[in-house]
Amino acid sequence: MQDFYNIDSLLSEEEIAVRDSVRRFVDDNVLPIIGECYVEGRFPREIVPGLAELGVFGANLPEEYGCAGLNNVAYGLIMQELERGDSGVRSFASVQGALVMYPIYAFGSEEQKQHYLPKMAAGEIIGCFGLTEPDFGSNPAGMITMAREQSDGSWVINGAKMWITNGSTAQAAIVWAKTNDDKDQRSIRGFIVPTSSKGFRAKDQKGKLSLRASDTSELVLEDVRVPKDALLPKSGGLKSPLMCLTQARYGISWGALGAAIACFEEASSYAKTRIMFDRPIGGFQLQQLRLADMLTEIVKGQLLCVQLGRLKDRGEFTPQQVSLAKRNNVHIATDIAREARRLLGANGILAEYSAMRHMENLESVYTYEGTHDVHTLVLGQAVTGLNAFGA
Amino acid sequence: MANVLAFAESRGGELRKVALEAVTAARALADAEGGEVHALLMGAPGIAAKAEQLGRHGADVVLVVEHPALANHSAEVAAATAAARAREGAYGAVVFSASAQGKDLAPRVAAKLGVPMAADVLSLEGAPGSVSVTHPGYASKVTRTLTLSAKPAILSLRPGAFTPAAVTKAGRVETLAPAMDPASARVVVKEMVQGRSGKPDLGDAPVIVSGGRGLRAAENFRLVEELADAFGNAAVGCTRAVADDGWRPQSDQIGQTGRTVSPDLYVAVGISGAIQHLAGMRTAKTIVAINRDKEAPIFKVADYGIVGDALEVVPALTAAVREAKQGH
Amino acid sequence: MKIVVCIKRVPDMESRFRITADGKLVDEAGLKFDMSDFDGYAVEVALQLTEKLPQGEVVVVSLGPDAVQEVLRKALSMGAARAIHLKADRVPADGFAVARALAAELQGGGYDLIMFGKHAMDTMSGVVGPMTAELLGLPNVSAASKLDVASGKGTARRELEGGAEIVEFPLPAVVSIDEGIARPRYPSLKGIMAAKKKPLETKPAQLDVARLEVTKTELPADRQGGRIIGEGAAAVPELVRLLQTEAKVL
């Protein structure tokens, strides 16, 4: 879309080059097939080697582990471009980078980092992130998955996880479990669990009407025994997985803008070419209102993200700031997708156009990684100092 | 008064149509100053027999270079010979075709003579010494007028842009020796690969039937081929998407990055009309479009459009064309 | 094996072009620019050729204002080792002047291959490559659709009208690249970061006075298209009638 606020001038030459390279990849490899994948309910696995070669997985992690070593603004722009393709594609990259590679980088031993990160950056090992449980979504502290340390130092894990992106594709799962009794959230530790382990099962969740081009699974761990070195040694307490989610949520703030941009581009081009009552529908005031609102919200969201990325690069960002960006940008993106779908009239319900696919996807994005409502409470607490959560 | 030299392209002992186009354009330039047209004809022994045909299209003199090693075109030998002749003859202009061979040859002659050149010329005016030409630019989205002040003016002509005209001139044959030993050429043709036999080339065919993704599957290209066969004089082209998908060879691709064509009739079947495709065919004299989507941009440039499924419309059109051809 | 690829920065051809007020040129203000398509193929081919060899270096050269450094950086991020910027206020329309400036730079550079795209997307002339070959006294192959290089010799395929030719030539040589030979890679994110640290040398271009001028640039008149004659196979008889009586092409 037109750079209405010259936001490019806030970006470095490399950041723009990164965005443009990923943009071209998405134009060539994602957009031509994604509508069909969505209808078929299939994640486009064939693009994974290309994404790996491009270097999008864990792109903001250091070069010494086979990653691109980008700053966080460049990383955010990658997420934006991937989600301009589809939220499912961005989710895949978010999980691999922010929820699997990041915890290994942040909480893993040097051996774990050397072993896993280069292979994950190369897409040779795909990972998933097991935190949410059937009965514990917004309240992960209540998890009941348990890991028991054995006398030989190995661990035995029991439990179930739900809504796990890449669950059935992954070779490695980052599983979060309590290691003491089930009331003690400080005992939560992370484990790298090979999905080929005995007692590990992943089953795709069927009947999704959103994120259809993404694998979402249920994980069951029944007496899964993992060696001592499966433990992420520096993980400790609920804070560890929440740190991962902050990373992923940062990417979502950018990603949602990508979906919004796709919808705006589609809607504005449609408005200029679709003739009704002998003139382009873009000439009618109601459609102009839609387009003006979309443009305004996208520009605001972009400015928000660039500043958030700069703060993150300086090590100054807070989880509350990320909550604000995720909450706002996903919210405006869902509105933009819906208005774009409406502007497209009957055509808007076809998979050939992208608006309705984004609209459906964004309902998931609105709900995962901290629902919109939970982030409202995070911000409410930041403003008032008063905790309005259930507990 | 300045004479004009025209390079008469041949392949396999036969003159190519572009040779006559070059002579025709050279005639127009020479006539502006009352000069002569000299055609340079190179090939294996026996090529001199084609001189007469050049005479009938306006060549006053045909300079014939025969050598057994010239059975295949050698740009190196041709460039050396054309440049040597241009120098000696003090020509006002040297005209080539912007064919695959000519595009390779003309810039070398220009460099040997130390002058600039204009490529892919669509039209020209003026006389040797101050020639103005038009030429496409920016993916054929603009037409540029270039003025050449150096002498000789070196031009290569867009194939098909100049229609060969019958103007009988003496066509007096003079024999020339190649300006370098053909055996010492460094770039050597090892093999000539024939295209599909009997089918006209995209650059020569008066009619092109071209297919896009709207045909839905590679095997449906059969319909396009059948329609081309019904016309009898048609070549088959395709869009970039189709070539990228491997439905058709890359050499059939028409567009910004493929071939640029100007046939009398272009039939676009299942082609939406992306800018990149339009750049390659918008100069066709008549355009017909068949497409399911009535909003497709191809209809904006088409003289005649039919909204409908190619799989249904094309067989009907093939039958109707066949009938019309028989009626003649 | 040392390969140099000469690349050009051109506007995005999907742009809606406008003409400058004096009617002479395309108004390039506000347009997006990128490496010319065929030059991208040439860079890709050069990288593939050198990647197969134990020792290979790809150098890229571009002539023009400071902005051409963008496309040089792009080539570096694709994998070229270093870049040379021949600085000039603008790229002259006279391809021979450009060829002379390039030949002056490339002379004595020790390159085994000098590569070009078959033509730049803006001038669409394809003259600079063969002219540079001639000025350097090197063998030239234009518009190669396949290229192999081994032990000091090259083999290339060139598409002709209704056929193709396979040619052989000794190195060093000049080769320009046609479409379809290789899909240019996406600059990888690591490549983009690495490109920052690669050498980019700037020097003035040695340009002569141009003897070819663009005196006018026009947008072609819009075709008077848009006539839909009907729907489905039922419209065929009317189409045939129009082709016979109005267009007279059948």
Q: Find the CATH number of the domain harbouring B218.
A: 3.40.50.1220
Domain assignment present for B195: no
Q: What is the extent of the structural domain holding A154?
A: 127-230
Which of A83, A69, A130 is closest to A103 using CA atoms?
A: A130
pLDDT-derived band at C247 (thresholds 50, 70, 90) equals confident
- Among the candidates A171, A205, A230, a domain finishes at A230
Question: Is residue B135 within a helix (H) or strand (E), and if so which, with residue range?
Answer: strand B130-137
The answer to whether the Cβ–Cβ distance between B195 and C164 falls below 8 Å is yes
The pLDDT value recorded for residue A391 is: 58
Closest Cα in chain C, distance from residue B19 (Å): 14
For the ranges A91-100, A270-279, C24-33, C241-250, the one whose mean pLDDT is highest: A91-100
The mean-pLDDT minimum among A15-19, A315-319, A387-391 falls in A387-391
Do A18 and A103 lie in one domain? The reply is yes
Task: Decide if C164 and B119 are in contact by the 8 Å CB cutoff.
Answer: no
Cross-chain Cβ contact C249/B285 below 8 Å: yes
pLDDT one-digit tens code per residue, A186-197: 899 999 999 999
What H or E segment, with its residue span, contains residue B279? helix B275-281
A54 closest CB neighbour out of C74, C186, C196: C186
Quick one: B265 and B155 in the same domain?
A: no
Query: Same domain, yes or no, for A31 and A155?
Result: no
Distances (CA, A) of A59 to A191, A192, A311: 23, 21, 18
Q: What is the pLDDT of residue C144?
A: 95
Residues B227 and B127 in one domain: no
- Judge if B89 and B149 occupy the same domain: yes
Share of chain A above pLDDT 70, in %: 100
Residue B267: the pLDDT is 96
pLDDT tens per residue, range A53-65: 999 999 999 999 9
User: Considering the domain boundaries, does residue B194 fall inside one?
Assistant: no
Strands (E), C171-211: 173-177, 200-204
- The predicted pLDDT at position B196 comes to 61
Q: How many domains does chain B have?
A: 2
Q: Can you give the pLDDT at residue C38?
A: 94
Of A133, A266, A339, A369, the active-site residue reads A369
Q: What is the pLDDT of residue A386?
A: 94
Same domain, B64 and B137: yes
Which residue ranges in chain B fall short of pLDDT 70?
1, 128, 196-199, 327-328
CATH number of the domain residue B112 falls in: 3.40.50.620
Determine whether the interchain pair C211/B116 forms a contact, defined as Cβ–Cβ distance below 8 Å. yes
Shared domain for A183 and A255, answered yes or no, is no
Test mutation, A3, A15, A18, A65, chain C, max C CBs within 10 A: A18
Among residues of chain A, what percentage have pLDDT more than 90? Answer: 92
Angstroms from A346 CA to nearest CA on chain C: 22
Instruction: Please state at what angle helix A319-343 crosses helix A355-367, rounded to 10 degrees.
Output: 150
User: Is the residue at B189 inside a domain?
Assistant: no
Range(s) of the domain holding residue B172: 4-184
Do B223 and B100 share a structural domain? no
Q: Is A369 a catalytic residue?
A: yes
B180 and B211 inside one domain: no
* A267 and A214 both lie in a single domain: no
**Is residue A271 located within the same domain as residue A139?**
no
Q: What is the DSSP letter of A27?
A: I
Nearest residue on chain B to C96, alpha-carbon basis: B116
Q: Is A184 at the interface with chain C, CB within 8 A?
A: no
Judge: B186–C139 Cβ closer than 8 Å, yes or no.
yes
Q: Are residues A150 and A206 in the same domain?
A: yes
Cα distances (angstroms) measured from residue A264 to each of A1, A39, A261: 8, 22, 5
Q: What is the ipTM score, two decimals?
A: 0.90
Tell whether B223 and B174 lie within a shared domain. no
The answer as to whether B191 is a domain residue is no
Domain boundary among A174, A204, A230: A230
Q: Which pLDDT score, from 0 to 100, does residue B58 have? A: 94
Are A53 and A160 part of one and the same domain?
A: no
Q: Is C129 on the interface with B (CB under 8 A)?
A: yes
Which residues of chain B make contact with C182, given a CB cutoff of 8 A?
none
CB atoms A18 and C189 under 8 Å: yes
Phi, psi of C212 (to 5 degrees): -135, 130
Q: Are residues A136 and A92 in the same domain?
A: no
Q: Which residues of C touch B313 (CB under 8 A)?
A: 232-233, 235-236
| A chain contacts of residue C77, beta-carbon cutoff 8 Å | 17, 21
**B254 in any annotated domain:** yes
Structurally, chain A folds into a number of domains equal to 3
pLDDT at C162: 76
Residue A353 lies in a domain: yes
pLDDT at B227: 94
Confidence at residue A313, expressed as pLDDT on a 0 to 100 scale: 97
Find chain B residues with C-beta within 8 A of C213's C-beta. Answer: 146-147, 149
Contacts of C196 in chain A (CB under 8 A): 14
**Structure token pair of residue A326:** 């995720």
Q: Which of residues A121, A143, A176 is at a domain's end?
A: A121
Note the pLDDT of residue B328: 54
A157 and A91 both lie in a single domain: no
pLDDT tens digits along A160-178: 999 999 999 999 999 999 9
Q: How many CB pairs under 8 A join B and C?
A: 288
Closest by CA position to B213, among listed B246, B255, B235: B246
Q: Which of A257-271, A292-306, B127-141 has the lowest mean pLDDT?
A: B127-141
Task: Compute the distance between CA of residue A325 and CA of residue A368 in angstroms, rounded to an integer.
Answer: 14
Question: A216 with A198, same domain?
Answer: yes
Domains of chain C and CATH, by start: 2-204 (3.40.50.620)
**Which class for B34: exposed (0-12), middle (13-18), buried (19 or more C-beta within 10 A)?**
exposed
Q: Strands A200-204 and A216-226, how do they pair? A: antiparallel
Strand partners, B145: B134, C216
> What is the pLDDT confidence band of residue A207, given thresholds at 50, 70 and 90?
very high
- Single-letter code of the amino acid located at B280: G
Q: Which residue has the higher pLDDT, A360 or B148?
A: A360
Tell me what pLDDT residue B246 has. Answer: 87
A210 lies in the same domain as A277: no
In a domain, A2, yes or no: no
Token representation of residue A116: 């896993």
Query: B311: distance to nearest CA of chain C, Å?
Result: 10
* Residue C67 confidence class, pLDDT cut points 50, 70, 90: very high
Mutation to test the A interface, candidates C73, C186, C188, C198, most A Cβ within 10 Å: C186
Instruction: Tell me which of B137, B169, B184 is where a domain ends.
Output: B184
Best to test chain A binding among C189, C190, C193, C198 (most A CBs inside 10 Å): C189
Is there a single domain that holds both residue B260 and residue B152?
A: no
Query: Which CATH number characterizes residue A247's domain?
Result: 1.20.140.10
Residues A364 and A268 in one domain: yes
Confidence (pLDDT) at B3:
93
